Homo-oligomer: A and B are copies of this chain.
Amino acid sequence: MKRPTIKDIAAAAGVSKGAVSLALNGRAGVSESTRARVLDVASALGYRPSVTARALSSASADAVGLVLVRPPRALGDEAFFFQLIAGMQSEMSCALLLQVVASREEEIALYQRWWAEHRVDGVFLVDLLVSDPRVSLMSSLGLPAVVVGGSGHHGSLASVWADDYAAMTSVVEHLKSLGHRRIARVAGLSSLLHTVRRDAAFASSVVDGVVVAGDYTAESGAAATRDLLSGEAPPTAIVYDNDVMAVAGAEVAASLGVSVPSELSLVAWDDSVLCQHGRLTALSRDTFAFGARAARALVSVIGGASPTDVQDVLPELVVRGSSGPAPGGSAP
């Protein structure tokens, strides 16, 4: 089964290759009657232009790229990215090139390769680092890119972000209003920009806060929680940087006989089925819509628009059974 090429269309319609190209792309240079004839022939033959050939003439690759740096097996639990990807797809007509790599170095090499190979028209940058080499790489390559989930403006790149600072503040305020004073935080990877932002917000709104580092796995969430609860002045509330660690923390609390929420309040960052079933109070954001917004931004940058920063709506705190008034204290 041989697919028809532009040459076949030209022959069948009795015109030249060039005329066919002009006709199909709706450009001036052919008469309306010829255009109509060409379109007829093309659809009759089931013609589809080869992206490959088209990309060669320095046109578009009709694809965008996303690289995730993860230990491969850990990926499955991260509903966040799948939601994000689904949202991106909803706003893109082109395909998404997805690759999971194990290190930052590979990631950078991959971007360069995709660019050199003319494989993508643009890329999404996720998991932004504190001082991220990718930002300047993109500018130097001239590869359209959108920073997803950074913190505001990044070099000359477009950006779609949520205000982690304000979000963290709102969580802490909620806990404070419930009478909590000793609030702890189980943070995510400290190399990530949003972790730093949340740390800063946490530090500035909690007087006597404790921060324990985690890495988003259930194990680290459990370990951190155990440490916190076995200290001499255990916190009355813990804020986790993701859902997996929070759920693990809830289990540790249960196993230690610490009852939630009467003795301990728990809040998760990023809502999910996991939180819903664990009846965990969670900071919920519409990740799907977030992805869609990112895709729109990338599409417009690729289209030549000047990069803009789009701020996502503030995440909303969904209060469930895991948070309540501070124990013993006199709630205001």
Q: Interface size on A (CB < 8 Å)?
A: 58
Whether B99 contacts A97 by the Cβ 8 Å rule is no
Whether B119 contacts A95 by the Cβ 8 Å rule is yes
Q: How far is the CA of A3 from the CA of B79 in the complex (A)?
A: 37
Whether A100 contacts B86 by the Cβ 8 Å rule is yes
Q: Known contacts A52-B119, A273-B244; decide if A86 and B75 are in contact (CB<8 Å).
A: yes
Segment from A11-19, A55-63, A195-203 that makes contact with B = A55-63
Stoichiometry, copies per complex? 2
A98 at the interface (CB under 8 A from B): yes
Q: How far is the CA of A52 from the CA of B63 in the complex (A)?
A: 12
Q: How far is the CA of A95 from the CA of B100 in the complex (A)?
A: 9
Whether B76 contacts A86 by the Cβ 8 Å rule is yes
A247 at the interface (CB under 8 A from B): yes
Chain B proximity mask over A71-104: 1 for CB below 8 Å, otherwise 0: 0110111111111011101100001111110000
Residues from chain B with a CB closer than 8 A to the CB of A73 are 86, 288
CB nearest to A58 among chain B residues: B52
CB nearest to A87 among chain B residues: B72
Which A residues from 37 to 67 make CB contacts under 8 A with B? 48-53, 55-56, 61, 63
Chain B nearest CB, measured from A80 CB (Å): 8
A118 at the interface (CB under 8 A from B): yes
Residues from chain B with a CB closer than 8 A to the CB of A142 are 1
Which A residues from 138 to 152 make CB contacts under 8 A with B? 140-142
**Interchain Cβ contacts under 8 Å between A and B, 10 examples:** A1-B140, A1-B142, A51-B118, A52-B119, A53-B118, A75-B83, A76-B287, A95-B119, A251-B277, A274-B277
